[in-house]
Structure 1
Amino acid sequence: MLESLRPVNVLPAALAAWALALLLLAVAGLGANFGPHPDDPALAPALPRVELAETGPRLGPPSQYAEVAQRPLLIPSRRPAAVSESGDQDAPLDFSLTGVLLAGEFRAAMLQSPDGSRNERVREGELVEGTSWRLVSLEPRAAVFQGPEGERRLDLRVYDGSGDPVRSQTAAVPPPPQAEGSRRGRRAPVATSTPASEEPRPATATETGAMSEEQQVEAIRRRIEARRAQMREQSAREGQKVE
Structure 2
Amino acid sequence: MASRSQILMTAGLAALAAWSGLFALAAVTGLGGRHSVLGDDPSLVPELPQINLEQAVSRLEGQGSYAGIGDRPLFNHDRRPLPPVQSADSSGVVPPPAPTAMDAVLTSVILGGERKIAIVFHAASNTSQSVAVGAELKAELAGWRLTDLQPRMAVFEGPGGSKSLELRVFDGAGGQPPTAIAEPMPAPDAAPAVGADGQPVAVDSPEARAELIRRRIEERRRQMREESERARQ
Q: Same fold (TM over 0.5)?
A: no
Q: Which has the higher helix share?
A: 1
TM-score normalised by structure 1 residue count: 0.40
Rg larger in structure: 2
TM-score normalised by structure 2 residue count: 0.41
